Structure 1
Amino acid sequence: MPRVFSVRSLVPGEDREENPVHDHRRLGRELDLFDTDPLMGAGLPYWLPDGAAVRHALEEFVRETERRAGYRHVYSPVLGKRELYEISGHWSHYSEDMFPPMDLGAEQVVLRPSLCPHHALIYRSRAHSYRELPLRMAELGGMYRSELSGVLGGLTRVRAIQLNDAHVFCTMDQAAGEARAALDLIGRAYATLGIRPARYRLSLPGANGKYVAGADMWRRAAALLTQVLDDSKVPYEAVEGEAAFYGPKIDVQIADAAGREATLSTVQIDFHQPERFDLHYIGPDGAKHRPVMVHRSIIGSMERAVAHLIELYGGAFPAWLAPVQLVVVPVSEAEAGPAAALVERAVAAGLRAELAGPEQGTLGARVRAARRVPYQAVIGAREAASGDVALRLRDGRRPATLGTGALLDRVGALVAGRSLELWPEEAELTESH
């Protein structure tokens, strides 16, 4: 049975049109998307059912996008032996941002600060031929950063991170093309999500000692990323001191309504870890060759991505991301049965649908409470008798009356297509407000 629509869970603060500056920390709690508890600790938010629905839809989008782009998905553990991170260079260059090691018998294990060492080991576990390359490996996995309490905030800066991460193992000749394809993939994902980059940044090493040695390695990687940016014809600026400790990167920056900037997506070229882990493939000459490792994240962490989307849309998400996509509102108790049947059909069709019955208040109150839900289906005596539905869109438009089957087909197609539009412009409307 579908769960009953909760009026309280969708009572928002100001509408997006009334107040364009949104704080995801406030909205996330008002809309029952996420929260925190002192016993869990700072920087460790938990996701409520509506927030989990948004995150799940986003995860499915990312996995499908990656699969269509030739990536294969893996799972790897969130723990690793300290020795693993000593080999990767994290221990000597990044340990201040890692949680302390835990003693496990004669060994020490560590909560991983990134996924790349694990993926390097997965690659190394099997022999590879040049014919297999590029090998694209993706994971939506957890990692942990020992962030100071003073920099933590909502979902944008947390200690437990669910990262959309991937690593491409390729030949030197393939590296620029793979990095460029990753940047194109980021652009297509942003278009689907409605995200606009604030700027592109070529992040280079600084003068301090936090970076691994190897001037030639850094020069080659930076030259490749510069070529990618130039070929992609996006404006960018080079900034020193922002590189990863093992290599330069392209950072795709976003900005919130207050102008605060953050990195959401990255593309990196890494010559360091393939050497440290002694990765190789067999070339056409029958000899061993070192692969290049391209790191990339389409939308970064689920936490930061959802925080940005909350603020971007003021909690009124596109239909495919919305926690509740369709709310069915019977005018009176007499229409409760047909309304409940429509909810069940919608859920069976794959929609997130809920019932707002008369016991939850007046008709006007129920409609107002659901004002961030994309589609509101009102069923009165006439609709119950005819099997039709009076549909109201979140923006106040009212499409022509539809039969329940046509309604579910139309809404289902818009959701499946991940449209940013609530309703096709060419569709007939009965009135507009």
Structure 2
Amino acid sequence: MHDHRRLGRELGLFDTDPLIGSGLPYWLPDGAIVRHTLEEYIREAESAAGYRHVYSPVLGKRELYEVSGHWAHYSDDMYPPMDLGAEQVVLRPSLCPHHALIYRSRSHSYRELPLRMAELGGMYRSELSGVLGGLTRVRAIHLNDAHIFCTLDQAVDEARAALDLITRAYADLGIRAARHRLSLPGEGGKYVADPNLWRRATALLKEVLDGSGIAYEEAEGEAAFYGPKIDVQIADAAGREATLSTVQIDFHQPERFDLHYIGADGAKHRPVMVHRSIIGSVERAVAHLIEEHGGAFPAWLAPVQLVVLPVAEAQAARAEEVVRRAAARGLRAELAGPEHGSLGARIWAARLVPYQAVIGEREAESDLAAVRLRDGSRPGPLPVGELLHRIGERVAARGTGLWS
């Protein structure tokens, strides 16, 4: 595996500047393409799974986090309050309090549940400078977050469905989970003091894991302050583990925010809140993808999907036409003409691009392209239309395969 901090800069994906500050990377154009494509993939997957997307502010009044419990249990990791007249506002450390308020803003019947609410939103953690690094530990985080408000009887199925979404996303992205962890509370005042809450939520998560047939390890001291969680662990180039994806069952915040729904009996009932993140933060996900693939991203995620290489200047016009036709099909294509060096040098420079189309004299005359794949295989000369169709099919199918 590779170090994403070095490779990400070499590939022009992201960088930092001291005037912006530590732990605050900016995205360069190719990195922005990867990020945008990843975000769109997640939104489409969530929409297909019945999630509705929302937007919520990155600020909240201090009182909001006092109600949620973040101020009492998590304030050391939050930025200090900002005085705005008679109010104090805080950069949010998580999205769940906002989503609880969105749920609370309308009345709900049991017929509406489960209600799946998703957002890819910003949140902020006051990380110490010594732990910051590249995209893996940052101070401004963009989290693929969602909260499912459901009945107690629905909680296990919803959490299990979230695990299934994670498994499918990892397959499409070419990510391997290092292990699954059931994160439990430890000693001290970091955790909500409600033994019944912990016992009920832990039992449900164990049911989820056991029913999914997933091997897991229990780890004390790794839970969220309000409840246990399933953590999907990944490993970096040095073998260090980090959490990428999570599934949590929460009885605490529905109680704190006095959330309810009207049951079949006409009475008020408390919903269960399932927290889940399919790819965690976009920053950490892209960092891991860089390391896992060495910059050779799956074709659907690659910043450039097709490079067109005219052998000589005489074929440049035909090569430009191929690039235009590819763009019209929604593919990300670039021209690498003779002005960039010999054909061999240009092929080498484009070695991370999934598909290469070489246009020589014979190809230009016959509307063909000599096809080269990133893995070294050569399917042979193909009509340009067929080539673009096949690439389009592979991109639309996602996954890690290059040819079929």
Per the normalisation by structure 2, the TM-score is 0.99
C-alpha distance in 2 between matches for 1:59 and 1:76: 17
C-alpha distance in 2 between matches for 1:237 and 1:374: 38
1:220 to 200, 203, 210: 200
Identify the residue that residue 142 of structure 1 maps to in structure 2. Answer: 122
Moved over 3 A (4+): none
- Higher mean alpha-carbon deviation, 287-296 vs 61-70, is at 61-70
1:392 to 355, 361, 372: 372
1:287 to 257, 267, 275: 267
Q: Does 1:102 align with 2:93?
A: no
Q: 1:332 offset after TM fit, Å?
A: 1.2
2:296 to 313, 316, 330: 316
C-alpha distance in 1 between matches for 2:144 and 2:135: 15
Q: 1:228 offset after TM fit, Å?
A: 0.7
1:48 to 28, 35, 52: 28
C-alpha distance in 1 between matches for 2:388 and 2:125: 44
Q: Does 1:198 align with 2:184?
A: no
C-alpha distance in 2 between matches for 1:34 and 1:417: 27
1:181-206 C-alpha deviation (Å, 9 max, x unpaired) = 11111111111111111111111110
Q: Does 1:156 align with 2:136?
A: yes
C-alpha distance in 2 between matches for 1:112 and 1:419: 34
1:401 match: secondary structure: strand
2:107 match: secondary structure: coil
Identify the residue that residue 75 of structure 1 maps to in structure 2. Answer: 55
Q: Is the 8 A contact 2:92 2:124 kept in 1?
A: yes
Counterpart amino acid of residue 388 in structure 1 = L
Q: 1:159 offset after TM fit, Å?
A: 0.5
1:287-320 C-alpha deviation (Å, 9 max, x unpaired) = 1111000000011000111111101010011101
1:64 to 41, 44, 65: 44
Counterpart amino acid of residue 312 in structure 2 = S
1:357 to 337, 343, 349: 337
Q: 1:212 offset after TM fit, Å?
A: 1.1
Counterpart amino acid of residue 278 in structure 1 = D
Per the normalisation by structure 1, the TM-score is 0.92
Q: Is the 8 A contact 2:120 2:142 kept in 1?
A: yes
Counterpart amino acid of residue 285 in structure 2 = A
Q: 1:125 offset after TM fit, Å?
A: 0.7
2:238 to 258, 261, 264: 258
Report the aligned-residue RMSD. 0.8
1:302 to 274, 282, 294: 282
Identify the residue that residue 28 of structure 1 maps to in structure 2. Answer: 8
Q: Does 1:277 align with 2:257?
A: yes
Point out where structure 1 has 5 or more consecutive residues left out of the alignment: 1-20, 425-433
C-alpha distance in 1 between matches for 2:215 and 2:376: 39
2:348 match: secondary structure: helix
Q: How many residues align?
A: 404
Counterpart amino acid of residue 416 in structure 1 = A
Counterpart amino acid of residue 98 in structure 1 = M
C-alpha distance in 2 between matches for 1:100 and 1:347: 47
Q: Does 1:367 align with 2:347?
A: yes
Identify the residue that residue 376 of structure 1 maps to in structure 2. Answer: 356
Q: 1:336 offset after TM fit, Å?
A: 1.0
1:320-346 C-alpha deviation (Å, 9 max, x unpaired) = 111100001111111111111111111
1:91-130 C-alpha deviation (Å, 9 max, x unpaired) = 1110110111111111111110000000001101111000
C-alpha distance in 2 between matches for 1:370 and 1:344: 19
Kindly, what percent of the aligned residue pairs are identical?
80
Q: Does 1:85 align with 2:65?
A: yes
Identify the residue that residue 403 of structure 2 maps to in structure 1. Answer: 423
C-alpha distance in 1 between matches for 2:100 and 2:62: 15
Q: Is the 8 A contact 2:126 2:139 kept in 1?
A: yes
C-alpha distance in 1 between matches for 2:70 and 2:335: 51
Counterpart amino acid of residue 154 in structure 2 = Q
Q: 1:419 offset after TM fit, Å?
A: 3.0
Q: Is the 8 A contact 2:171 2:399 kept in 1?
A: no
Q: Is the 8 A contact 2:173 2:399 kept in 1?
A: no
Identify the residue that residue 12 of structure 1 maps to in structure 2. Answer: none
C-alpha distance in 1 between matches for 2:88 and 2:340: 55
C-alpha distance in 1 between matches for 2:212 and 2:309: 49
C-alpha distance in 1 between matches for 2:14 and 2:281: 15
C-alpha distance in 1 between matches for 2:399 and 2:77: 39
Q: 1:400 offset after TM fit, Å?
A: 2.2
Identify the residue that residue 190 of structure 2 maps to in structure 1. Answer: 210
2:152 to 157, 165, 172: 172
1:212-260 C-alpha deviation (Å, 9 max, x unpaired) = 1211111100110011111111111111110000100000101123211
Q: 1:381 offset after TM fit, Å?
A: 1.3
C-alpha distance in 1 between matches for 2:84 and 2:321: 55
C-alpha distance in 2 between matches for 1:256 and 1:293: 31
C-alpha distance in 2 between matches for 1:381 and 1:105: 72
- Higher mean alpha-carbon deviation, 410-419 vs 252-261, is at 252-261
C-alpha distance in 2 between matches for 1:209 and 1:24: 36
C-alpha distance in 2 between matches for 1:298 and 1:78: 21
- Higher mean alpha-carbon deviation, 176-185 vs 165-174, is at 176-185
1:389 match: secondary structure: strand
